[in-house]
Amino acid sequence: MTAADLLSAGEDGMLRPDEAVTTRQFVTMALRAVGAEAGRRAGGCMEYAVEKMMAEDYDILNAEKPIERRSAARILHRILIAELGEEDESDWSAAERLQDLYSCHVCLNHIAQVYVKGIMGGRREDLFDLEGQMTCAEAAGSIQRMADREKREKVQGVKSAIREITPDRAFQMLAAGRARLVDVRSAEEYSRGHVEGAENAPLAELDKNPHMLGDKSAVLILYCRSGFKSRIAANILAGAGFRKIYTIPGIDQYDYGEYR
């Protein structure tokens, strides 16, 4: 990375791989690695990253502070999408082995994607360490793997306790009175239209009280807009003791016909 002018030594000519990397340094290295135009403009990387929604105002405010691993994951994931046009992995179940994956719902998909793609690993096998600082060595390795797929080793999935089923199968179960259909979108989204027969249990409320759905032996079929929130809700319910949980494609993924 030094030879490619992606990483430089300090004023004393020393390169210290164990030192923490600031947010500004990380963003600059990452943009240069993918050949982004702003990566070659002094002082313009942070502003460019915010403009292209690869970074946030939070990153500007903390530009000179050591970057946290969750922020690094978010930035790398967004660069993958915005600069490289890389699609998300549909199966990110392997990331569920990380005990702290669900401790930050805003960060969840970013962390899951860079983890399963083999771009950022955990601090140990079962822990990502969201608030941990990125060292120069970690940043260099993660950025290289982000920019070059051949350097990655995809993390294999693990068997999930939550099952995905087809809408046809779900409607068969509902017609037989063997399941409850749950819309985990917000109350406002639900009021604008929902799949016929669905009850509303917003993700934010489930997160606070997963027992609000009552009988833990009930068969629950969850859906949302894209399938992302329903997956989070399913894991929250599984952690609370519900054992018969299914998810179906979100309303953006499947035509459920007329809403009520």
The model's pLDDT over 95-107, given as tens digits with 9 standing for 90+, comes to 878 888 878 888 9
For residue 159, the model assigns a pLDDT of: 54
Based on the structure, what is the number of domains in the chain?
Answer: 2
| Judgement on whether residues 74 and 100 belong to the same structural domain of the protein | yes
Specify the pLDDT at position 260: 47
Residue 138 phi/psi, 5° resolution? -65, -45
- Residue-wise pLDDT for 206-219, tens only, equals 999 999 999 888 99
* Average pLDDT of the residues in 164-191: 92
Helix, strand, coil share (%) of the chain residues, nearest 5:
40, 10, 50
Report the pLDDT value the prediction gives residue 176, as an integer from 0 to 100: 85
Regarding whether 168 and 145 lie in a shared domain, the answer is no
Residue 194 lies in a domain: yes
pLDDT score at 4:
64
Same domain, 183 and 135: no
Is 146 found in the same domain as 110? Answer: yes
Which pLDDT band, with edges at 50, 70 and 90, does 202 fall under?
very high
Q: What is the DSSP letter of 124?
A: B
Round to whole Å and give the CA distance between 182 and 198.
Answer: 5
Which DSSP helix (H) or strand (E) runs through 246?
A: strand 245-247
Domain that holds residue 105: 23-151
Q: Is residue 252 part of a domain?
A: no
Q: Specify if 80 maps to a domain.
A: yes
Distance between CA 45 and CA 38 in Å, rounded? 5
Do 33 and 146 contact (CB within 8 A), yes or no? yes
The secondary structure of 136-153 as a DSSP string is HHHHHHHHHHHH-GGG--
- Reading the block at residue 193, the tokens are 């239209």
Clarify whether residues 106 and 128 are in a common domain. Answer: yes
Q: What confidence tens digit (pLDDT) does each residue in 217-244 have?
A: 899 999 999 998 998 999 899 888 888 8
Q: How confident is the model at residue 37 (pLDDT cuts 50, 70, 90)?
A: low
Q: Say if 2 falls within a structural domain.
A: no
Q: Walk across the sheet containing 163-164 and list its strands.
A: 163-164, 245-247, 220-223, 180-183, 199-200
